[in-house]
Structure 1
Amino acid sequence: MVPPPDIAVSDEATDTPGPTEATAPDAIARLDSAPQQLVAGMLGRADIRIDGGRPWDMRLHDPGALERALAEGNLGLGEAYMAGAWDCERLDAFFDHLLRAHIDREVQPARLAWHALQVRLFNRQNRTRAWQVGRAHYDLGNDFYEAMLDPLMAYSCGYWRDVDTLAAAQEAKLELICRKLRLQSGMRLLDIGCGWGSFMGYAARHHGVEGVGVTVSREQAEWARERYAGLPLTFRLQDYRELDDRFDAIVSVGMFEHVGRKNHRQYMEVAARCLADDGLFLLHTIGKNRRDAVPDRWIDKHIFPNGETPSIGQIGDAIDGVFVCEDLHNFGADYDRTLMAWHDNFEAAWPRFAERLGETFRRKWRYYLLSCAGAFRARELQLWQWVLSKDGVRGGYRRPQ
């Protein structure tokens, strides 16, 4: 998951605004530099007040946080929050306001130019680097994720249609995927990026399939092997590029965000190589609205190393001549509710992890979950389920309700 785009000033935004109603008078007095006042003015256009009294207003403890945001975008803003330089009662609402006002579209932080160049020129998700996210993020500790997630350990967007709990939303999502793939007893299933095995376990128990799941997280693989030891499931610690088996159906839930633009085409070719001629492939992925958007530097450094959210156009390019798109389903607004449920679980369980992880981690994780919730609420990020076939479903494909 990727939080809001970088926040900094573009070359066009050169005028320094004077005091506005969006900033309390006592706060204005503390903004003693033009950069600080410039950021305050930008926030004001998003209806965010410095030291205001509304839940989405910024409570500023160190005015230098504004200069960091100006110079380093979301990297500076997020690290200033982690350091306690500012607070907000509702970070999710803060980012919703910020992105709804399209402040991110005005900004091009010069200090992040090298990051943007790396993304465009280098393969940041090659066979060696692909394992970094497993160690840095997914291997934080299974007990930590058990406390934050639902009982099945599904770490992706739930489907909240006609349900009102996280557990029910995740089961509804898993069942929806099974029906979209038209799973039947005895089918052989591949799960690319299987996580803790939530989908494979559900599909085996409720639809009688057998299957193989691959992950780059040692913790996930070990947990899944123990949890589903009695089912005809195999969990491999393996890069997707090494796959060369044949399967009746393929699923990939919340993994494509780690593939990267340099590897999109190869990923699709691997999936086609492994899929039976009459099989279906369901790709469940977060999506971005603009092809040219650069991965957020804060989340790249602190949450998901080498992550890159795809656009519709990039996925279209990757499947061109390889797959037929049978169905494209967007329920990105459901990710807002999923993230807020994870956040509630995280905060409730925090006393168990406070000594082990520390307050800086708590602020980092809160910023991650709530900034992403705000981005989905603002519709800056999407959640897509693509149903793909190799040669087109004869007679057409109908999405199950």
Structure 2
Amino acid sequence: MTSDPRIGPIALPDSRARWVVERLLDGSGVTLNGDYPQDIRVLHPDFFSRILRHGTLGLGESYMDGWWECERIDQMASRMLLHGLGQHARTPSERLMYRLQAGFLNLQSRTRAYRVGEVHYDLGNDLFERMLDDTMCYSCAYWKDADDLAGAQRAKLELACQKLDLKPGMKVLDIGCGWGSFAEHAARHHGVSVTGITISREQADLARERCAGLPVDILLQDYRDLDGLYDRIVSIGMFEHVGHRNYGTYFETVKRLMPMDGLFLLHTIGANRSEITADPWIHRYIFPNGVLPSAMHIARASEDHLMMEDWQNFGLDYDRTLMAWLANVDTHWQEIAPRYNERTRRMFRYYLSVCAGAFRARHLQLWQVVFSRGRAARYDAPR
């Protein structure tokens, strides 16, 4: 027997399960009960068998339950992914179940589209106001010439505006407007009118408050139900919720809403491989029914509708962004602790840390892609 002061006496872990886990970690730079920040400190005897049975779902859930600790989960995750544990950490049954669901069901249909808003984005504006910065941008910042999170987020918003070549008086559509970050910035600094849509009631309410007095209209609406014509269209951090079965409809909708001389900017997380899969823990607790596109998915789905003008990858900037969000959560959690339980705090810490590690290991990417309908004018993207 051994003990931990927080949970009392615990039995020694099953030796066989522990041996398998140790073999998987061998060479990764992550050890069990070691002294380095990336090492896993095991607090529950069933930890090993749980992650062997349930893969990344078991790893995340057991952290939420307090079964293990790690000083730097981001370092742990990046080392594991660089060691090749990304696929081994998911059980075959989990991968098969998601593929079957995604194949036979449209997980991002109109009736299902609002679920991610209800589960994640509607969790509470007070939480996200403390996690994010004053811009309320919940997407990758652009750190090229920035020193802090707010500056990097404003740089990202301005980069998008410059790539869209905004001019005063233009009508702009923001698909997945979040808390109104881009809409507020574009309307205030570029003299455009913006229609923003979101599937989150909490986001819509706060976005309307933030954009009060500006030519901005915030709608609680699915992108497939849109009408009208817009000089420019932008979508920042929303495409991850579209789903592979809807990619064609998405680009067809953008084309229908944009004139021949229009421009569309797509800002999305991207996967290295063209697989229809999702991390089961992220799928259950953070972004239900989400799936990451690959470069091929985007190219194939858009080629019948739009012309690709520019493609930029600044995925490493997401590592720094996520770590800044994590620091904010740690700094301000006590301000909102009465509203949220300890399991929710650990859920967010795990989510932000693991995702930071994934971008650091180049397991995930962040792309900004500019499309047109084949306009005659030369396009030169700013950087």
TM-score, with length taken from structure 1: 0.90
Quote the Cα distance in structure 2 between the aligned partners of 1:79 and 1:319: 37
1:398 matched to 2:383: no
Partner of residue 109, structure 2: 126
- Point out the more displaced range, 169-178 or 140-149: 140-149
* Correspondence 1:94-173 to 2 at 5 A: 94-106=76-88, 109-112=91-94, 113-173=96-156
Q: Give CA deviations for 1:35-62 in whole Å, capped at 9, x if unaligned.
A: 3211111112312110000000000111
Partner of residue 379, structure 1: 362
Give 3-state SS (helix, strand or coil) of 2:135's partner: coil
Q: How far apart are residue 395 of structure 1 and its match?
A: 4.8
Partner of residue 81, structure 1: 63
Give 3-state SS (helix, strand or coil) of 1:129's partner: coil
1:201 matched to 2:184: yes
Q: How far apart are residue 32 of structure 1 and its match?
A: 3.0
- Structure 2 unmatched ranges of 5 or more: 1-10
Quote the Cα distance in structure 1 between the aligned partners of 2:307 and 2:326: 37
Partner of residue 283, structure 1: 266
CA contact (8 A) 2:56 2:280 kept: yes
Give 3-state SS (helix, strand or coil) of 2:268's partner: strand
Quote the Cα distance in structure 2 between the aligned partners of 1:346 and 1:286: 22
Distance verdict in 2 for CA 1:51–1:108, change over 3 Å? closer
Partner of residue 37, structure 1: 19
* Correspondence 1:184-263 to 2 at 5 A: 184-263=167-246
Q: How far apart are residue 320 of structure 1 and its match?
A: 1.5
How many matched pairs? Answer: 372
> Structure 2 counterpart of 1:78, which letter?
G
Partner of residue 42, structure 2: 60
- Point out the more displaced range, 221-230 or 199-208: 221-230
CA contact (8 A) 2:224 2:253 kept: yes
Quote the Cα distance in structure 2 between the aligned partners of 1:276 and 1:63: 62
Quote the Cα distance in structure 2 between the aligned partners of 1:94 and 1:174: 31
1:299 to 258, 282, 291: 282
Q: Give CA deviations for 1:111-164 in whole Å, capped at 9, x if unaligned.
A: 313233212331101001000011111111112111111101011000001111
Q: How far apart are residue 63 of structure 1 and its match?
A: 3.5
Quote the Cα distance in structure 1 between the aligned partners of 2:116 and 2:236: 16
Quote the Cα distance in structure 1 between the aligned partners of 2:278 and 2:36: 30
CA contact (8 A) 1:31 1:37 kept: no
RMSD value, Cα: 1.3
- Structure 1 unmatched ranges of 5 or more: 1-28
> Structure 2 counterpart of 1:292, which letter?
E
- Point out the more displaced range, 225-234 or 372-381: 225-234
- What stretches of structure 1 move > 4 A for 4+ residues in a row? none
Q: Give CA deviations for 1:248-279 in whole Å, capped at 9, x if unaligned.
A: 00000000000000101101101110011100
Partner of residue 332, structure 1: 315
CA contact (8 A) 1:66 1:77 kept: no
Partner of residue 6, structure 2: none
Quote the Cα distance in structure 1 between the aligned partners of 2:284 and 2:140: 23
Give 3-state SS (helix, strand or coil) of 1:45's partner: coil
